[in-house]
Amino acid sequence: MKIKNISIKNFRSYYGTHTIELYEGLNIFIGDNGDGKSTLFDSLNWLFDTTLTEQKNERLISKKCLAHLVSGGDAESVSVSMTFEHDGEKYIEKSFDFFLDANGNLKTANYQFVGYEEYGSERQRVDGRRLLDRCFDASIRQYCLFKGEEKLDIFNTDNALQYLVNTFSEVHDFDMFYTGDEEGFTEFAVQNAKRARDVAIKNANATTQKERDLNTAIGEISRQLTSVERDLKDAENNYNKYDKLLTDIESHAEASEDLRRINDRIKNLKERKENTELKIDDAYSKKLLDDYWIMCGMSPVIELFSEKTNAFIKEKQKLEIKEAEKKGKKEAIKEIAAGVLPLDPLIPDRKSMENMIHDEFCKVCGRPAPKGSDPYNFMVQKLQSLLDSISGEVPNDEEDSNLFTNNYSVELQQILRNVDYMTMRINGLQNEISGSVKENNRLKMLAKNFQRSIDDAIDEKNKLLSKNNNITEEELDTDYKNISNWNKYRNDADHSREKLKIRKKELNDKLTELQSELAGISKDDKSKTAVLVHQALQYICSAFAYAKQKNTRNFIELLTTHANGYLKKLNVDDFHGVIQIIERANGAARLQLVDNDGTIVTNPNTALETSKFMSVLFAISDLTTLKRENDYPLIFDAPTSSFGPQKERDFYAAISSVNKQCIIATKSFLKEDGSLDMPKIEHQKGKIFRLSLNPDCDLEKMSTIQTNIEPIKMNI
Amino acid sequence: MAARNTTDSLFALWAKRDAYFETHFQDEIISKFSDYGVGSSKSNEAKGKTFGGGYEMFIIAFFIGLYSDSRRELDKSLDKKKFGQPIEYWGNLDSRTGRKSYPEIRKHIFAALIAKTDIDLIALEKGEIEAGDVVSTLIDAMNEYANYGFYYLAEKLKDNPNSLYRNSGFLDIFLDLTRKKQPKDEELEEL
Amino acid sequence: MHSEDEMLKLVLSDKNLWEMYGFNPNDYPTMKSALSAEDYPVVVAVAKIIRNLNGKQDKSKYKEVYKEIYEYLNNNIIS
């Protein structure tokens, strides 16, 4: 949406009809106090009001016009209208008539809010309110019109972030699915499914003791979880309460430089403490196993194992040698019997003897020995006695002759080599342990010292804050105590919420585990299914909760990126840091500036503060553009009243480069004597108008007052 | 040829077994310091326990018994319970729990059991006694060392219920047991 | 509808959900694909909740949708 022109008639100081052709970029209306800047803003605000409240307010009528009315005479009208471009040219006009009746009483009548839009080549009259709501709905208007500098902080209200997310993020209406307050659908479904599950389990005949126990345990954990969640909420609220109190005091403190120094010191000390604590590695019990510390006394045991294994192996070898000796003798006999080994050349072996008997010839004496002869009989007898002598000793091949059937000695030797390999490590363990303990103790002492210094610095800060809170000597002490207490309460709340978060996670894990177990053992199909359905709905509910949170985070990220793009462009005071949007409980958020060295800027000057808010507004404007596929004008009334002249000029120069239609009413560009600072104006990009009162007016008489609008610079 | 028993090593046979303990220690000690009986799907940090699986508590108890050179027979009149996790899986932790695996501890327990029991290794090698029986002897000894350790811990808990919840609670026990002869040169009190 | 798809993607990207029910969230970028994810009743249930609640935050609509989702899960979910 781009506003092409605005027409104002008889609206308070705007006597008569004033039509202003606007530029699609920056439009500046320069006016001094009382010249009609706010009236210009109010006239647009009135036009954009689509509520159905009484709109014919007599106070809106130009007093000068009223003075010209005659009793019973013609009616005059108040009207504000605008022509704008939004998917084609459109026009809206809000107006009412006023007149004096025969008795001289002021009457108003004929209130109208009309619109016109083009259909093809035709121009059609439509309801103005509906047309405006369609093109420029209330949720967007809220982020387009700003009166004064202090109204720029759109995060100043509760639920602001939630509202923005609901209005502008990719996904909205999460509340329908999940609220976190048992109001969303998935929470409703989990509750009902739980009831259904409990009934099903109760009805299942075969409910075992174990299932009953699990259900009792689940009930107990659920109760604990509810109470932890309640406590967590309390802790969050407490934290936010005291955080806000302290942040407010900090932002009002005069001694901002001192405060920044102390905050820097605290931040630095905290970082060093955290880094020190990170280095502490005192999970000693786990190290007993993971780092083998538990084996620190193993040396004598390993020695014993080594002795025993070696003794065993020696003993085995001894037995084997003995066995081998025995075996060697047997082998020889066996081989002799098999005719493998030659006998003494003078003693024929079995084969030669058998051959000699068969050939009836004695090879030993070289004579024939016919069957039946003495030499023949001698040979037969000799063979027989040889056979006899070996027959008893020939080992039987079928019989097992091995002494050892197992070979565990090899395995034990292997294990010995293995544990020997660890010996060096084991011998070094005592040193490793005492070294580690010493180092951890040193780190703990160091962290403790850091904490002490942090406490001191916080103390110093509290004193400083109380001194600078514009209070009397007597109040000083109470104030100091308050601030110390608030700091303590905030820290307590912070600790307890961290603890509760952990506790909540533990309980949730436990609950899931018990439920899985229950799902696993429920024998009865009906109750088993009921358990599964309940479990599934719980997972779904958690997934919606996760999605809601992620969506908010995505939105904050997007908004932050856009806002920082603008902050860079505005570049007030050569500030090179960034804006951070910090999410708080209950849909609220807070903006903070962080310097490029990472320190939080606690006390930015007003110009920087204003550019911070402006950047966020421009960013929101970007998001509306993305969301509605249309751009919207931004209208400000005196946003820079606290700026110095130089800053102001830079600021407007920057704004004219951001490529958005801006309408700004301001005192800037006026010299001390109320005349225009022309060189500055010439320097400015955009259209510039001068608002001024008619020179002949009498400020005491409202009926003489009339604002004129004079274009000063129309060439862009 | 002779039929040699080469199917399983003694260590493998032993590692396939599970340890057991007197059931009352589950509530008295094991569940207090480990995730035993609560499933193993979640990380230890989430539950804030000192140890992971219940067997880790058993290992601690075993080494207490071993370094005290004391065994205590399990009470026959009491219920016993197994971990449901054979020794071969002890200390095979995956990285998601942020823990390291410690395979060497298993080997050292085995070595210690061989060293500390009167097993006739020669008879075993000759096949005169069964490997299964030897393994049973080792397991019994292991359970008895651990049983002594459990009673030791129970006593400790009775005397000073908080001492074991300190970071150095268990470490102090081992330093005490293994440095008895030397004077303490380091005070391990937590800051 | 664009916004429904975005909502679906955000919900299905919950690690606890997809790990528990073993689906790949990238497989269901649209309501259409999720509504026909027959192998994963939880995915279908999420899509049905988004679709059928139809912008209404009142108890009678809750009851109606709950009944439908419960029936669906009851008939389709397996351990």
Contact between A537 and C73 using a beta-carbon 8 Å cutoff: yes
Contact A577, A594 (CB under 8 A): yes
Contact between C57 and A175 using a beta-carbon 8 Å cutoff: yes
Q: What is the pLDDT of residue B43?
A: 41
Contact C11, C17 (CB under 8 A): yes
Is pLDDT above 70 for A715? yes
d(CA A497, CA A489): 12
Same domain, A90 and A222: no
Q: Which of A496, A518, A548 is the last residue of a domain?
A: A548
Nearest Cα residue in chain B from A416: B111
The reply to whether A434 touches chain B by the CB within 8 Å rule is yes
Residue A471: band (very low, low, confident or very high) from pLDDT cuts 50, 70, 90:
low
**Residue A338 tokens, joined:** 């098999």
Is pLDDT above 90 for C48? yes
Same domain, A323 and A291: yes
The answer to whether position A243 is within a domain reads yes
Q: What is the pLDDT of residue A244?
A: 81
**Partner A, chain B 1-60, Cβ-Cβ below 8 Å:** 2-6, 9-11, 33, 38-39, 41-42, 46-48, 50-51, 56, 59-60
Closest CA–CA distance from residue C52 to any residue of chain A (Å) = 11
Chain A residues in contact with C13 by the CB 8 A cut-off are: 546-547, 550
d(CA B135, CA A634): 85
Question: Total structural domains in chain A?
Answer: 3
CB count in 10 Å sphere of residue C32: 10
Taking CB atoms and an 8 Å cut-off, how many pairs form between chains A and B?
Answer: 166
Buried (b) or exposed (e) across A299-319, using 16+ Cβ within 10 A? eebbeebbebbeebbeebeee
Residue A21: band (very low, low, confident or very high) from pLDDT cuts 50, 70, 90:
very high
CB count in 10 Å sphere of residue A457: 20
Q: Structural domain of residue C57, as residue ranges? A: 2-76
Contact between A412 and B107 using a beta-carbon 8 Å cutoff: no
Same domain, A44 and A28: yes
Is pLDDT above 70 for A472? no
**Residue A496 tokens, joined:** 């307890």
d(CA B30, CA B37): 9
Q: Which of A420, A438, A468 is the last residue of a domain?
A: A468
Contact between A430 and B178 using a beta-carbon 8 Å cutoff: yes
Chain B residues in contact with A444 by the CB 8 A cut-off are: 190-191
Closest CA–CA distance from residue A277 to any residue of chain B (Å) = 13
Chain A residues in contact with C74 by the CB 8 A cut-off are: 529-530, 533
Same domain, A193 and A329: no
Chain B residues in contact with A411 by the CB 8 A cut-off are: 9-11
Contact between B110 and A415 using a beta-carbon 8 Å cutoff: yes
Contact B98, B46 (CB under 8 A): no
Q: Which of B141, B82, B71, B156 is nearest to B109 (CA)?
A: B141
d(CA A252, CA A479): 14
d(CA A655, CA A688): 14
The answer to whether position A103 is within a domain reads yes
Once rounded to an integer, what is the mean pLDDT over residues A104-108?
90
Q: Do C and B touch, counting CB pairs below 8 Å (3 needed)?
A: no
List strands edge to edge, sheet with A634-637: A145-147, A634-637, A662-666, A26-30, A687-693, A707-713
Same domain, A317 and A416: yes
Same domain, A428 and A513: no
The answer to whether position A580 is within a domain reads no
Buried (b) or exposed (e) across A267-282, using 16+ Cβ within 10 A? eebeebbeebeeebeb
The answer to whether position A553 is within a domain reads no
Here the CATH number for the domain that contains residue A18 is 3.40.50.300
- Report the phi/psi class of residue B107: left, alpha or beta, with left for phi > 0 and alpha for psi in -120 to 50: alpha
Same domain, A515 and A484: yes
Is pLDDT above 60 for B148? yes
Chain A residues in contact with C3 by the CB 8 A cut-off are: 170-172
Contact B30, B57 (CB under 8 A): yes
Q: Which of A710, A665, A655 is nearest to A686 (CA)?
A: A655
Contact between B131 and A289 using a beta-carbon 8 Å cutoff: no
Here the CATH number for the domain that contains residue A495 is 1.10.287
Chain B residues in contact with A308 by the CB 8 A cut-off are: 114-115, 121
The answer to whether position A425 is within a domain reads yes
Smallest Cβ–Cβ distance between B191 and the set A401, A402, A441 belongs to A441
Q: Scanning the structure block, which residue is given the tokens 């905290």?
A: A270
Closest CA–CA distance from residue C42 to any residue of chain A (Å) = 7
The answer to whether position A598 is within a domain reads no
Contact between B2 and A402 using a beta-carbon 8 Å cutoff: yes
Same domain, A463 and A523: no
Smallest Cβ–Cβ distance between C62 and the set A174, A188, A196 belongs to A188
Nearest Cα residue in chain C from A527: C74
Once rounded to an integer, what is the mean pLDDT over residues B72-100?
80
Closest CA–CA distance from residue B41 to any residue of chain A (Å) = 8
Candidates A276, A285, A431, partner chain B, best to mutate (most B CBs within 10 A)? A285
Contact between A186 and C59 using a beta-carbon 8 Å cutoff: no
Smallest Cβ–Cβ distance between C11 and the set A173, A183, A544 belongs to A544
Q: Structural domain of residue A280, as residue ranges? A: 259-346+406-468
Same domain, A518 and A493: yes
The reply to whether A309 touches chain B by the CB within 8 Å rule is yes
The answer to whether position A234 is within a domain reads yes
The answer to whether position A175 is within a domain reads yes
Contact between A288 and B170 using a beta-carbon 8 Å cutoff: yes
Is pLDDT above 60 for B185? no
Residue A82: band (very low, low, confident or very high) from pLDDT cuts 50, 70, 90:
very high
**pLDDT-above-90 percentage for chain B:** 40
- CA–CA distances in Å: residue B128 to residues A168, A318, A460, A682: 84, 18, 83, 113
Q: What is the pLDDT of residue A679?
A: 82
Chain A residues in contact with B179 by the CB 8 A cut-off are: 430
- CA–CA distances in Å: residue A554 to residues A170, A591, B41, B138: 9, 16, 31, 60
- ipTM, two decimals: 0.97
The reply to whether B180 touches chain A by the CB within 8 Å rule is no
For the stretch A145-177, pLDDT in tens is 888 776 677 777 777 777 777 777 766 678 788
For the stretch B150-175, pLDDT in tens is 999 999 988 888 888 888 889 999 99
**Partner B, chain A 575-604, Cβ-Cβ below 8 Å:** none
d(CA B87, CA A330): 46
Q: Which of A468, A495, A510 is the last residue of a domain?
A: A468
Same domain, A242 and A172: yes
Nearest Cα residue in chain A from C60: A185
Smallest Cβ–Cβ distance between C7 and the set A532, A537, A547 belongs to A547
Same domain, A655 and A687: yes
For the stretch A25-61, pLDDT in tens is 899 999 888 888 889 999 998 999 888 666 778 889 9
Look at A301 and A695; give whichever has higher pLDDT.
A301
Can you list the positions of beta strands (E) in chain B?
A: 20-22, 80-82
Candidates B101, B108, B117, B175, partner chain A, best to mutate (most A CBs within 10 A)? B108
Same domain, A432 and A312: yes
Residue A399: band (very low, low, confident or very high) from pLDDT cuts 50, 70, 90:
very low
Question: Total structural domains in chain C?
Answer: 1
Is pLDDT above 70 for B189? no
